[in-house]
Chains A and B, each alone.
Chain A
Amino acid sequence: NAGVMQNPRHLVRRRGQEARLRCSPMKGHSHVYWYRQLPEEGLKFMVYLQKENIIDESGMPKERFSAEFPKEGPSILRIQQVVRGDSAAYFCASSPFPGVSNSPLHFGNGTRLTVT
């Protein structure tokens, strides 16, 4: 499967625990985007990363959330001390080139985080 791979598909955490969501972009794509979808809402941009660089984190909550895309391995979205309001579907997308209008994002199937 050459698509965007996210794991785990489902993640259950108790309040106060940490959640780690992983994303492997499509082959040849070096730009990764994280979006969050709260229940009954559209997707909302969180962060845009290139390898070893955070390009735009304007959509990330100020506390408890962090993201990285190391030189080797998948991109990680980390949520510390989760709260019930973090329950959502988290989607990762990748693109070969940034800022190109004819290069739409390819999304993974998401990680559904449930905080109990």
Chain B
Amino acid sequence: DQQVKQNSPSLSVQEGRISILNCDYTNSMFDYFLWYKKYPAEGPTFLISISSIKDKNEDGRFTVFLNKSAKHLSLHIVPSQPGDSAVYFCAASGLQGAQKLVFGQGTRLTINP
């Protein structure tokens, strides 16, 4: 029962272009969504979040879009930089708040110079 799905295991983007990572969820009770970035042998690092009352949140080069009717969210990184190469996890939470998270399987982003 995969409630949060990231259907692309990997993505390769040229430096300077836009990276778009996608995430779908099935549980309509989720009301808070987060993106985490993870480098090898390190823990996940919080990147950006969005509440279900919004459809967009922007922080520098990172923008998260939420489409509640489609139960879909996406992370846009522009412009992409080599240091963005990492595994990106989408996560969702419900009434318990931002701590009891349900994670997707992750998408490995590679930025090519």
Which A residues are within 8 Å of any B CB, using their own CB?
4, 31, 33, 35, 40-45, 48, 56, 91, 93, 95, 98-110
Cβ contact within 8 Å between A109 and B100: no
Contact with A along B95-113 (1 / 0, CB 8 A): 0111111111110000000
Report how far A103 CA is from B32 CA in the complex, Å: 11
Chain A residues whose C-beta falls within 8 Å of the C-beta of B34 in the assembled complex: 104
Kindly identify which residue among A40, A93, A101, A109 contacts B32, using a CB–CB cutoff of 8 Å.
Answer: A101
Say yes or no for B27: interface residue by CB 8 A criterion: no
A48 to B42, CA, bound (A): 21
- Does B44 contact A41, Cβ atoms closer than 8 Å? no
Contact flags (1/0) for B7-28 with A, using CB distance below 8 Å? 0000000000000000000000
Partner pick for A99 among B6, B99, B102, CB 8 A cutoff: B99
B97 to chain A: which residues have CB within 8 Å? 98-101, 103
- Whether B45 sits at the interface, judged by CB under 8 Å, is yes
Q: Are A104 and B98 in contact (CB under 8 A)?
A: yes
Question: Which residues 49-88 in B have Cβ within 8 Å of A in the complex?
Answer: 49, 51
Q: Is the CB of B105 within 8 A of A106?
A: no
Chain B nearest CB, measured from A36 CB (Å):
11
B104 touches A42 (CB 8 A): yes
Instruction: Give the distance to chain A from B35, nearest Cβ to Cβ, in Å.
Output: 10
> How distant is the Cα of A33 from the Cα of B45 in the complex, in angstroms?
15
B43 touches A107 (CB 8 A): yes
18 CB contacts below 8 A, A to B, read: A4-B43, A31-B99, A41-B105, A42-B6, A42-B91, A42-B104, A42-B105, A45-B100, A45-B101, A45-B102, A91-B44, A93-B99, A101-B32, A101-B97, A103-B99, A104-B98, A107-B44, A107-B45
